[in-house]
Amino acid sequence: MSDDLNGAELPETSLKTLRLRPGIVLNIQRMREGAPVIGAKFIAAIEGKGVMLTPSGMESHKTDIIIGDEYLIQGFTGQTDFSFTAPVLNVFTAPFAHALVAYPAAVKAKQVRKSMRMKTALPATISPRGQENPIEVSIVDLSADGAMISSPNFLGGVGSLFDMAFPIEFDDVQTNLNIVAKLRHRTSTDNEGGRIGLSFENVSREHKLLLNYFVSRITEENSFIIEP
C-alpha cells in the first residue's frame, strides 16, 4: 500500500492521543551505556498516574527491570513511532510479571504512515474489474487507503485492478462498501494465493469518511488508557 510517509516529525504529544492498544510491542532500555534492549508489551495506562507493561517472549516470566531507574520506552502504533523516558515505579511478579512506569508528561512522535491500519479478519469478495464470479477472501489488515488480504487463489500481477466488496458497521448498521482496488504487492512469486497488498483507488468522499470512522472507532475501542 502506498501510504508510507517520509518520517514526518510531529511536535511532542500526549500518550493519550496515541490511543495505545493492549499488546502493542515495546522496546525498553535502561538509560545506562551498554544496557540491553528488553522486549515488552503495553498493557494499560492510567492518565497522569502510570503505564503498565509486561516483558514478552522468553522473558515473560520475569521483569529484569530495576525500580527507580530511568528507561527509554519505544513503540509503534501502526501509524506513529513514539518514544518517551520514564522511571520505574514498581515491579510485580503476580498475577504475572509486569512493571509500572511513571506516566510521561510528553511523548516524542514521528508519523510514518498517514492512515491507521487495523488488524482484522473481515470477509470480502474480489474480482478483476468488469468480471463476475468474485472470489471470497479475508481482509487481515485494513486502513482508509488500502488493505492486506489473504486469498486462496492467484489474482493477478502488480497493477491489476479489482472490484472489491466488504461489510463495515456504521452507527450499529452494517453496510457493504464497493471499492476499486489496485494490487500493489504480493507475498507469493508464483501463480498461487497468499497475502496481497491493495490500495483503494478513486475512493468517494463518503466511502473515505466511512472507512476512517470504522478504523478509528475500532482502534479507539481497543485502546486502554483510563482517565482517573
Write the CATH number for 179.
2.40.10.220
Which of residues 114, 133, 167 is at a domain's end? 114
With 0.85 as the threshold, say if the pTM is over it.
no
pLDDT for 7 equals 45
Residue 101 and residue 16 in one domain: yes
Residue 105 and residue 124 in one domain: no
Q: Is residue 226 part of a domain?
A: no
Q: Is residue 72 part of a domain?
A: yes
pLDDT per residue of the chain (228 residues) written in tens, 0 to 9: 434 444 445 568 899 888 887 878 889 999 988 888 888 889 899 888 999 998 876 454 566 788 999 999 998 876 678 999 999 999 988 778 889 999 999 999 887 655 555 567 789 999 998 888 898 999 888 888 888 888 888 788 888 999 999 988 776 777 888 999 999 877 655 566 678 888 889 888 888 878 877 776 666 555 554 454
pLDDT for 81 equals 83
Split into its structural domains, the chain has a count of: 2
Q: Which three cell numbers stand for residue 157?
A: 500481477
Before 228, cis peptide (omega within 30)? no
For residues 4 and 197, is the Cβ–Cβ distance under 8 A? no
CA distance 24 to 34: 25
pLDDT for 124 equals 92
Q: Is residue 228 part of a domain?
A: no
CA distance 192 to 155: 8
Residue 149 and residue 212 in one domain: yes
pLDDT for 118 equals 59
For residues 226 and 47, is the Cβ–Cβ distance under 8 A? yes
Domain that holds residue 132: 118-221
pLDDT for 87 equals 96
Residue 106 and residue 122 in one domain: no
Q: Is residue 227 part of a domain?
A: no
Beta bridge partners of 111: 8, 80
Q: Is residue 186 part of a domain?
A: yes
Torsion angle in degrees (nearest 10) through CA of 158, 159, 160, 161 = 140
